[in-house]
Amino acid sequence: MKSIAVFAALILGFLAGAAHADGKVVVLELRGALGVATADYIISGIEHAEATGAELVIIDMDTPGGLMAPMRDIIQAILNSSVPVATYVAPEGARADSAGTYILLASHIAAMAPTTHLGAATPVSLTGDNVTPEEDAEDATEEETTDDGEQPESDPQAGTSMERKVLNDAIAYIRGLAERHGRNADWAEDAVRDAATLTAGEALEQNVIEFIANDHAALLEMMDGHEIEIDGETVTLETSNVVIETYEPNWRIKILSAVASPEIVLILGMIGLYGLMYEGWNPGAVIPGVVGVICLLLAAYGLQVLPVNYAGLALIIVGLALMTAEAFAPSFGALGLGGVAAFVFGAIMMFDSGIPGFGISLTFVITIAILAALLVIWMVSFILKLRRRGAVSGSDSIIGGVGIAMSDFSGEGKIWLEGESWTARSRAPVTKDQEVIVKKMVGLTLEIEPKNN
C-alpha cells in the first residue's frame, strides 16, 4: 500500500507540474528594410502566438525603415493583438529608424539594447525627398511682403498642400501611438518634424522606451511583473519561467523576401526577356520560354511591392530593346552601347526612391552593365567575323574551295569537297589525294586545277 501511495503522489506531482507548465514567448526577427514580405511574416507570427496561447511576442528589430503601407499593417496587428507585443531594438549597434520608430512606439513594451538608437521618422516621398516644406516656405516669403515692404516671418507649415498633408498625418499618427502607451509624444513629433534621434540611454531618460537590456534573458527578467493595458484591461506580465520559441518564416515569405529586392528584380527581368527572345529565335525550345515567362511574372511582382520610378523603368526597357536591336540590325556597337547606357541610368533612377533599404547597389549596376557591354562586343566581333568569312552556301561558297582528288584522272573525275563527293573536270592531270582548287561551277560539275604546293 505504501508503494501505491508513493506512486500516486508522483503522478499527482507530475500532473500539477504539467498544469503549471512554463509559458511561451514567441520571438520574431525584423531585419533589414521593411517591405510587404516582412509585414506578412510579422503578422503571421503574431497570429501564431495568439493561436498557441503565448504569453508574449518579442520583435527583435534592426531596420533602417521601409514602406509606409506594410508598416501600418504591422502596427494594426500589434494594436489589435490579444498577446502583448514587446519590440526590442537589438543586438548592440542595431537601429529603429523611420518606420521602425513607429512600430517601437506602437508596441506594448518598448526596449533597446545598449549602443542602439531610434528616430529619424520623417516621411520620404517616392522622389527621394523628405516631406518637409522649408524650401517652399522660403520661396513664399520671397514673393510675399507686408504693406510696409517688410517680409513676413516664414510659416513653418508653408509648402504644398500634399507636403503639409503627409507631414501632419505622420505627426498625428506617431503622437497617437506614443500617447496610447504613455510615452513622450512631444519627442515623437520631433522625430517626424525634425528627424530627431535618440540613443538607448537618452530614450529611457525621455520616457520613449521602458527598458534597456543586454539580451532576452535580461529583458524577460525586467518585464516580469510589469503591468500593461490590452483592450482596456490591465495585464501583469509573468515572464520569470518561459520557453522562448523563434518563429521562422515559411517558404512563401522567404521567396517573397528574396524577390522583393531591386537587384533580384533586375536579374529576373533580364532573364525573362532574353528567355523569351531565345524562344522566339528557336521556336519549340519550350524551356527558355517557360523560364522567361516565370521570371517576368516574378519581376512584375517585385515591381509591385517596391517603390519604383517609372521613368527609370522606361529607360531600362529602352536599353534592353536597343541591345536586342543590335542582334537584328548590327550597327557595330552603336545600338548596343547606347542600350547599355540607357540600362545603367534607368536602373539607378528606377530604385532611387530615397526610402531606406530600397536603393540599388551602384557596384551591382556597373557589373551588370559591364557584362552587357561585353556581350555586345562579342556580338559585334562575331558579326564581323561572319562578314569576313563570306558565303557559306550556294555556288559562292564552292568557288575557291580546296578539295581532294579521290583518284587519278585527266579530264573528268571525282573530288571530295566539304564532306561531299563532286564530279570535277580538269585540263591538267590529277593524282589521287592531290589538293585541287575549284575555279568554276557548271551545273553540278566543278572545273578545277591542281593546287600548287
Give residue 368's pLDDT band: very low, low, confident or very high (50, 70, 90). Answer: confident
Rounded CA-CA distance 371/264 in Å is 16
Same domain for 112 and 219, yes or no, is yes
Same domain for 42 and 115, yes or no, is yes
Query: Is 142 in contact with 124 (CB distance < 8 Å)?
Result: no
Q: Angle at the Cα of 305 (from 300 to 307), degrees rounded to 5?
A: 105
Same domain for 339 and 375, yes or no, is yes
Output the nine-digit C-alpha cell for 117. 538608437
With 70 as the cut, is the pLDDT of residue 354 above it? no
What single-letter DSSP state applies at residue 249?
P
Q: What is the pLDDT of residue 154?
A: 41
Q: What is the pLDDT of residue 379?
A: 63
Q: What is the pLDDT of residue 198?
A: 94
What is the average pLDDT across 119-142? 54
Q: What is the pLDDT of residue 352?
A: 62
Q: Which is higher by pLDDT, 94 or 148?
A: 94
Q: What is the pLDDT of residue 9?
A: 46
**Range in 60-64, 274-278, 399-403 with the lowest mean pLDDT:** 274-278
Give residue 331's pLDDT band: very low, low, confident or very high (50, 70, 90). Answer: low
Tell me what the pLDDT averaged over the chain comes to.
79
Rounded CA-CA distance 177/366 in Å is 43
CATH of the domain at 101: 3.90.226.10
Q: For residue 10, is it within any domain?
A: no
Same domain for 210 and 281, yes or no, is no
Q: For residue 139, is it within any domain?
A: no
* pTM assigned to the model: 0.65
**Range in 137-146, 156-165, 382-391, 443-452 with the lowest mean pLDDT:** 137-146
Task: Report pLDDT digits (tens) over 382-414.
Answer: 666 656 655 555 566 677 788 888 888 888 888
Q: What is the pLDDT of residue 116?
A: 95
Q: What is the pLDDT of residue 158?
A: 46
Same domain for 312 and 329, yes or no, is yes
Q: For residue 435, is it within any domain?
A: yes
Residue ranges in 181-333 assigned as alpha helix (H): 185-193, 200-205, 216-223, 251-259, 262-281, 287-305, 310-328
Q: At what angle do helices 262-281 and 251-259 cross, to 10 degrees?
A: 80
Q: Which residue pairs, CB below 8 angstroms and at least 24 apart, start in 264-271?
A: 264/302, 265/299, 265/302, 265/303, 265/306, 266/316, 266/347, 266/360, 266/364, 266/365, 266/368, 267/368, 268/295, 268/296, 268/298, 268/299, 268/302, 269/295, 269/296, 269/299, 269/316, 270/320, 270/368, 271/295
Strand ranges in 302-419 using DSSP code E only, listed in sequence order: 402-405, 409-417
Same domain for 356 and 246, yes or no, is no
Rounded CA-CA distance 351/63 in Å is 18
Rounded CA-CA distance 271/299 in Å is 10
Same domain for 362 and 406, yes or no, is no
**Range in 301-305, 351-355, 433-437 with the lowest mean pLDDT:** 351-355
Task: Report pLDDT digits (tens) over 239-253.
Answer: 888 999 999 988 888
Q: For residue 157, is it within any domain?
A: no
pLDDT > 90 fraction of the chain, expressed in percent and rounded: 30
Domain count, the chain: 4
With 50 as the cut, is the pLDDT of residue 117 above it? yes
Q: What is the pLDDT of residue 126?
A: 38
Rounded CA-CA distance 51/355 in Å is 34
Same domain for 79 and 35, yes or no, is yes
Q: What is the pLDDT of residue 6?
A: 43
Same domain for 204 and 104, yes or no, is yes
Q: Of 389, 413, 430, which residue sits at a domain end?
A: 389
Query: Is 45 in contact with 57 (CB distance < 8 Å)?
Result: yes
Q: For residue 425, is it within any domain?
A: yes
Q: For residue 351, is it within any domain?
A: yes
CATH of the domain at 399: 2.40.50.140
Range of the domain at 274: 261-306
Same domain for 330 and 267, yes or no, is no
**Pairing outcome for strands 227-230 and 211-212:** unpaired
